[in-house]
């Protein structure tokens, strides 16, 4: 069976090294926010070319902590997209703020930059742009608007570890960058973990407190914080996986290029790779009108694609009340998208089988 993602196959590449680190962490006697966490914070901040990195429990917490660091008023708005993992929206609401949805681009599924400025009102205090599916947004244009309007810019890089915008790693363009290390991510651990990047010294000191009860060095809560700490096991695994991130992203790009070449004659839309972006293909998302038929056909042949995302956040019961703007692209895209299997553990013969079955489906339709 071939799955859209297969974290087990990725971790097995480093099975012996990961087993050994479990022993090392066990023997260390330090299990949360210890030396491995400090090492990873330094390693990943350096990788992203930023001054500061803070390891947290997950990316949802990371976004919430960034927003809480701004000390905004309840009900202030955060401009973002609905076509994203619902975690992005959950974090905004958990911070006591309101998401303001704008539409996405048909070209790359990212925030439509042409809609940003016209949707900034007095109560919009932050923008969360999502580098969706592994491709960066056109950051410089959004950053200029945010700076001119004195609005905080947060990059949600949870699907874009190692992705580049104009030859610079994402995560260092905004006031904050947030990352997820969920098992299916390009950089992953065996559970939940997240990260915040920033070049702002004041924000850095604040988010260090917010991730751990608002404590100062004497463990006195100076702020109302939360418990969002990375443990040593996850950090140790991530230190191993980080060494292989660029190589594994190259594997994803090779698979994507193989798909692109193979699907040229087929009547479906393959992912766009923008000239300003270096795509890391967290997902390989195609578009076609008879999406559900292809999905069923592939599943009958033991190939299990995904749909990211079948229900946009604004159509979910919990967040419908924030649906104010018309989102025609978001609403239509959800019916046409399908994520084909892609991960660094995918073997060539499996990619060939995916291609063979996709072609077989379209040949049957003729």
Give the pLDDT confidence score for residue 364 in this predicted structure: 85
Residues 101 and 235 in one domain: yes
Using DSSP's 3-state secondary structure scheme, residue 267 falls into coil
Give the pLDDT confidence score for residue 10 in this predicted structure: 85
Query: What is the full DSSP assignment across 155-187?
Result: EE-TT-TT-EETTEETTSSSSEEEEE--TTSSS
Residues 204 and 249 in one domain: no
Task: Count other C-beta atoms under 10 Å from residue 35's C-beta.
Answer: 13
- CATH number reported for the structural domain that contains residue 162 in this entry: 3.40.640.10
Domain termination residue (choose one: 220, 242, 264): 242
d(CA 84, CA 180): 13
Residues 179 and 146 in one domain: yes
Residues 111 and 257 in one domain: no
Which ranges of the chain have pLDDT less than 70? 366
Domain termination residue (choose one: 215, 242, 269): 242
- CATH number reported for the structural domain that contains residue 352 in this entry: 3.90.1150.10
Contact 291, 338 (CB under 8 A): yes
Residues 213 and 270 in one domain: no
Contact 124, 79 (CB under 8 A): yes
* Residue 52: both structure tokens together: 């500061």
Residues 271 and 141 in one domain: no
Domain termination residue (choose one: 211, 242, 273): 242
Helix (H) / strand (E) containing 232: helix 232-242
Range of the domain at 125: 2-242
Q: Between vectors from CA 313 to CA 184 and to CA 118, what angle results, nearest 5°?
A: 115
Give the pLDDT confidence score for residue 366 in this predicted structure: 66
Domain count, the chain: 2
Task: Count other C-beta atoms under 10 Å from residue 261's C-beta.
Answer: 10
Residues 77 and 159 in one domain: yes
Give the pLDDT confidence score for residue 359 in this predicted structure: 97
d(CA 315, CA 209): 35
Give the pLDDT confidence score for residue 45 in this predicted structure: 98
Using DSSP's 3-state secondary structure scheme, residue 139 falls into helix
DSSP for residue 334: T
Residues 313 and 269 in one domain: yes
Residues 264 and 359 in one domain: yes
pTM of the model: 0.96
Residues 156 and 70 in one domain: yes
Residues 314 and 228 in one domain: no
Residues 143 and 78 in one domain: yes
């Amino acid at each position: 069976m071939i799955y859209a993602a297969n974290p087990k196959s990725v971790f097995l590449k480093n099975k012996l090294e990961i087993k050994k680190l479990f022993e090392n962490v066990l023997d260390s006697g330090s299990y949360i926010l210890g030396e491995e966490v400090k090492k990873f914070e330094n390693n990943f901040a350096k990788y992203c070319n930023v001054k500061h990195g803070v390891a947290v429990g997950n990316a949802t917490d990371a976004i919430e902590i960034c927003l809480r660091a701004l000390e905004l008023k309840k009900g202030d708005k955060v401009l973002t997209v609905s076509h994203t993992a619902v975690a992005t929206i959950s974090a905004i609401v958990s911070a006591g703020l309101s998401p303001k949805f704008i539409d996405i681009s048909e070209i790359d599924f990212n925030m439509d930059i042409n809609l940003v400025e016209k949707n900034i009102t007095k109560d919009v205090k932050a923008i969360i742009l999502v580098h969706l599916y592994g491709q960066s947004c056109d950051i410089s244009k959004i950053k200029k608007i945010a700076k001119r309007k004195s609005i905080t810019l947060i990059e949600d890089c949870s699907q874009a570890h190692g992705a580049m915008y104009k030859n610079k790693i994402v995560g260092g363009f905004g006031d904050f960058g947030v990352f997820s290390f969920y098992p299916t991510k390009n950089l992953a651990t065996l559970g939940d973990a997240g990260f915040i990047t920033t070049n702002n010294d004041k924000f850095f000191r604040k988010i260090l407190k917010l991730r751990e009860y608002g404590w100062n060095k004497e463990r006195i809560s100076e702020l109302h914080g939360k418990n969002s700490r990375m443990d040593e096991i996850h950090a140790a695994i991530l230190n191993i996986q980080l060494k292989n991130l660029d190589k594994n992203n190259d594997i994803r790009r090779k698979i994507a290029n193989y798909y692109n070449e193979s699907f040229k004659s087929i009547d479906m839309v393959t992912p766009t790779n923008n000239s300003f972006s270096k795509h890391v293909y967290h997902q390989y998302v195609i578009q076609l009108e008879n999406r559900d038929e292809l999905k069923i056909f592939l599943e009958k042949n033991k190939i299990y694609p995904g749909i990211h995302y079948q229900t946009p956040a604004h159509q979910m019961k919990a967040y419908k009340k924030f649906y104010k703007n018309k989102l025609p692209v978001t609403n239509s895209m959800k019916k046409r998208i399908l994520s084909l299997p892609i991960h660094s553990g995918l073997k060539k013969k499996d990619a060939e089988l995916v291609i063979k079955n996709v072609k077989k489906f379209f040949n049957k339709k003729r």
